[in-house]
């Protein structure tokens, strides 16, 4: 056999290998259809072999996975900004005022509260710890806010509090997963993925789901808290950095001009289009679209992620520090992203795990500093959205993965030098603001020391159900088939919290 024959044989082998089962079955179906068609039009044999006739019907979503889709019900909001305080902020120093706890400060915790409970670090009998902040009622609603949040207390009438949110997880990782995917175990899509999957995205130059982190670390649960789980990976959150390049490797390499880049992408897409004409696989079209979007993002993302061009008074209102990684920068970016039609913006701020193991985690010191860090930016975010007419079509959610104990932490049963609180998921505070939310509402009441809910206890699933409701979904009907059964964000639970809806 000469070398030419060998080459031809190898090429044929390659072609056979490149045919996947999908192509084989598709060709079979198309071929059968063609045969049937041929027999219908005995004389018109030109129909056979004309690929266009065998073309499958493509939906808009096949070509562009982020194409917009109508929600089942009219939505109250079109985008979401979720502010997550990773580590779990202490509700007892911020929103849930418990004067009785103050009186009981330093007294031993009653045994009845400890029975059958498991804490992350508390051992033996801990002592109760009074609130380390001063509380006042604010605004027309008269809702309580502590002096740790002086700016926020001025915008308190814009938000609705959930004072008795309940989670069954008491470690950061699982609790964060639960809060963002509806399950404490890995593998489920995050809220933002569900939302972009269900609604698509408005701006064709930007991702539909953007994640921004601050506080020096990413959440304990890792990137799964903005993962797409079993949904197509195009719906996962895109993490943007507020320092340096917003997205890694977004700049063209040195020596590559924008035009050269464009022709590279055009060449790749032309090959892909030929491939599509041969195999009619919609995945190829989706890929073509991804290349084009990535090219557009190269200019659009750095533009939207640049806060330097904002007017000075806006920068001051948020308290931004350009060039650094900060929660304030991220809040301003969140507004810009929502303004530019991004569907879901997820902010994580790390450093709220106030165990009292040192100065930074003491509820009267480090926590107060953390509060100062977020107080101005998050209040500014609400006001800025409002003055631009965006607050009535955006939902802002604030919370941690759980709350903290009314007892002072006694790690290893020892008294600790700093005042701290342990993880506690029975009753903690979250708030929501924006379109469809009842302004100034407060739902849920905890007992005298803030240990458990007396009334209006809501679960993490209830929070998700309410968010879905505002976005135009019935959380029970919004499902994705995977491994033989339909999955939903709220699993088999969840009720819409009517008390905080306008």
317 binds other proteins (CB under 8 A): yes
Which residues pair with residue 1 across a beta bridge? none
Rounded Cα gap, residues 101 and 81, in angstroms: 33
Nearest CA to 436 out of 78, 124, 21, 16 is that of: 78
Rank residues 319 and 420 by Cβ distance to other proteins and give the closer one: 319
Q: How far is the CB of 122 from other proteins (least distance, A)?
A: 25
Strand, coil or helix: 188: coil
Secondary structure (3-state) at 384: helix
Q: Other CB atoms closer than 10 Å to residue 389's CB: what's the count?
A: 8
**Strand 485-487 to 480-482 pairing:** antiparallel
Strands 344-350 and 209-214: parallel
Q: Which is nearer to other proteins, 253 or 484 (CB)?
A: 484
How far apart are the C-alpha atoms of 59 and 341, rounded to whole Å?
A: 23
Q: Which is nearer to other proteins, 275 or 499 (CB)?
A: 499
The answer to whether the CB of 166 falls within 8 A of the CB of 457 is: yes
Stretch of residues binding other proteins (CB under 8 A), selected from 71-79, 91-99, 247-255, 279-287:
71-79
Q: Does the footprint of other proteins cover residue 287 (CB under 8 A)?
A: no
* Nearer to other proteins among residue 183 and residue 204 (C-beta): 204
Residue placing its CB nearer to other proteins in the complex, 24 or 73: 73
Taking residues 27 to 66 in sequence order and writing x for each that binds other proteins by CB under 8 A, - otherwise, the string is ---------------------------------x------
> Is there binding between residue 484 and other proteins (CB under 8 A)?
no
Question: Least distance from C-beta 71 to other proteins, angstroms?
Answer: 6
Contact 333, 346 (CB under 8 A): no
Candidate segments 95-103, 146-154, 234-242, 249-257, binder of other proteins by CB under 8 A? 146-154
Question: Hey, CA dihedral for 239, 240, 242, 248, is it positive or negative?
Answer: positive
Please answer whether residues 210 and 193 qualify as being in contact, where contact means their C-beta atoms are separated by less than 8 angstroms: no
Based on CB atoms, which residue is closest to other proteins, 35 or 70?
Answer: 70
Site mask, other proteins, residues 380-409, x = CB under 8 A? x--xx-xxxx--x-----------------
**What x-and-dash track marks residues 357-376 binding other proteins by CB under 8 A?**
-------xxx-xx--x---x
* Tokens read off for 227: 């993962």
Which residue from 171, 183, 203, 290 is in contact with other proteins, where contact means CB under 8 A? Answer: 203
Give the HSE-up count for residue 427: Cα atoms under 13 Å, Cβ half-sphere.
22
Rank residues 173 and 302 by Cβ distance to other proteins and give the closer one.
302
- Closest C-alpha among 84, 330, 85 to residue 191: 84
Of these, 33, 72, 99, 124, which contacts other proteins (CB under 8 A)? Answer: 72
First CA to last CA across the chain, in angstroms?
81
75 binds other proteins (CB under 8 A): yes
Q: Residue 122 or 210: which CB sits closer to other proteins?
A: 210
List helix spans (H) across 78-152. 99-103, 111-114
Q: Confirm or reject binding of residue 341 to other proteins (CB under 8 A).
A: yes
Q: Could you tell me the smallest distance in angstroms from the CB atom of residue 472 to other proteins?
A: 6
313 binds other proteins (CB under 8 A): yes
What gap in Å lies between CA 176 and CA 272, rounded to an integer? 40
With beta carbons less than 8 A apart as the criterion, state whether 286 and 64 touch.
Answer: yes
Binder among 68, 218, 264, 298 for other proteins (CB under 8 A): 68
Which candidate, 240, 210, 214, 173, places its Cα nearest to that of 349?
Answer: 214
- Asked whether 129 and 421 are in contact (CB, 8 A), the reply is yes
Q: Which of 182, 229, 434, 472 binds other proteins (CB under 8 A)?
A: 472
Is 466 a residue that touches other proteins (CB under 8 A)?
A: no
- Pairing state of beta strands 79-86 and 344-350? parallel
Q: CA-CA distance, 183 to 482, in Å (whole number)?
A: 15
Q: Does 70 bind other proteins (CB under 8 A)?
A: yes
**Stretches 69-77, 98-106, 439-447, 482-490: which one binds other proteins (CB under 8 A)?**
69-77
Minimum Å distance from CB 87 to other proteins?
17
Q: Is 90 exposed, middle or buried (0-12, 13-18, 19+ CB in 10 A)?
A: buried
Per CB under 8 A, contacts with other proteins among 420-459 are none
Q: How many residues bind other proteins (CB under 8 A)?
A: 40
- Pick the closer one to other proteins by CB: 60 or 278: 60
- The DSSP call for residue 196 is H
Looking at residue 121, what DSSP letter applies?
Answer: S
H or E segment to which residue 135 belongs: strand 135-138
* Binds other proteins by CB under 8 A, chosen from 138, 151, 336, 421: 151
Instruction: Please identify, using beta-carbon distances, which residue of 38 and 150 lies nearer to other proteins.
Output: 150
Residue 216 in contact with other proteins, rule: CB under 8 A: no
> Interface with other proteins by CB under 8 A: which residues?
60, 68, 70-76, 150-151, 154, 202-205, 313, 317, 319, 340-341, 364-366, 368-369, 372, 376, 379-380, 383-384, 386-389, 392, 472, 495, 498
């Amino acid at each position: 056999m000469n070398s030419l024959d060998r080459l031809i044989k190898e090429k044929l082998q390659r072609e056979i290998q490149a045919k996947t089962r999908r192509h084989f079955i598709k060709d079979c179906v198309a071929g059968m259809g063609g045969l049937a068609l041929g027999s219908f039009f005995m004389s018109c044999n030109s129909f056979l072999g004309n690929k266009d006739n065998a073309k499958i019907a493509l939906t808009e979503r096949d070509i562009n996975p982020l194409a917009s889709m109508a929600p089942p019900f009219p939505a109250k909001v079109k985008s979401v900004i979720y502010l997550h305080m990773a580590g779990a902020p202490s509700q007892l120093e911020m929103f849930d005022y418990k004067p009785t706890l103050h009186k009981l400060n330093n007294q031993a915790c009653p045994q009845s509260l400890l029975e059958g409970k498991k804490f992350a670090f508390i051992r033996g009998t801990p002592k109760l710890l009074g609130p380390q902040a001063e509380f006042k009622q604010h605004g027309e609603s008269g809702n309580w806010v502590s002096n740790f949040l002086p700016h926020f207390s001025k915008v308190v009438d814009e938000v609705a509090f959930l004072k008795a949110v309940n989670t069954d997880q008491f470690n950061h990782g699982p609790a964060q997963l639960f809060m963002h995917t509806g399950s404490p175990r890995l593998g489920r899509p995050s809220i933002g993925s569900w939302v972009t999957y269900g609604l698509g995205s408005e701006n064709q130059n930007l991702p539909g789901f953007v994640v921004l982190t601050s506080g020096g670390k990413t959440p304990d649960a890792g990137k799964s808290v903005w993962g797409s789980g079993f949904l197509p990976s195009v719906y996962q959150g895109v993490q943007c950095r507020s320092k340096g390049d917003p997205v890694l490797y977004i700049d063209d390499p040195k020596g590559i001009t924008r035009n050269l880049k464009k022709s590279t992408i055009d060449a790749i897409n032309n090959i892909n289009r030929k491939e599509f004409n041969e195999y009619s696989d919609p995945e190829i079209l989706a890929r073509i679209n991804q290349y084009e979007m990535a090219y557009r993002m190269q200019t659009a993302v750095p533009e939207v992620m640049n806060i330097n061009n904002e007017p000075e008074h806006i920068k001051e209102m948020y308290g931004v520090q350009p060039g650094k990684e900060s929660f304030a920068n991220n809040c301003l970016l969140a507004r810009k992203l929502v303004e530019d039609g991004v569907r879901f913006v997820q902010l994580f701020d790390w450093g709220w795990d106030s165990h009292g193991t040192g100065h930074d985690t003491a509820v009267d010191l480090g926590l107060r500093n953390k509060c100062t860090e977020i107080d101005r930016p998050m209040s500014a975010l609400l006001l800025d959205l409002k003055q631009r007419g965006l607050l009535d079509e955006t939902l802002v959610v604030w919370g941690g993965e759980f709350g903290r104990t009314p007892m002072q932490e006694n790690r290893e049963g020892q008294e600790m030098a700093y005042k701290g609180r342990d993880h506690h998921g029975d009753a903690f505070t979250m708030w929501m603001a924006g379109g469809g939310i009842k302004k100034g509402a407060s739902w849920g009441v905890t007992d005298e020391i803030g240990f458990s809910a007396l009334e209006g206890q809501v679960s993490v699933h209830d929070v998700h159900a309410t968010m879905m409701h505002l976005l135009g979904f019935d959380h029970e009907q919004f499902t994705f088939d995977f491994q033989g059964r339909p999955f939903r964000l709220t699993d088999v639970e969840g009720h819409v919290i009517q008390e905080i809806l306008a």
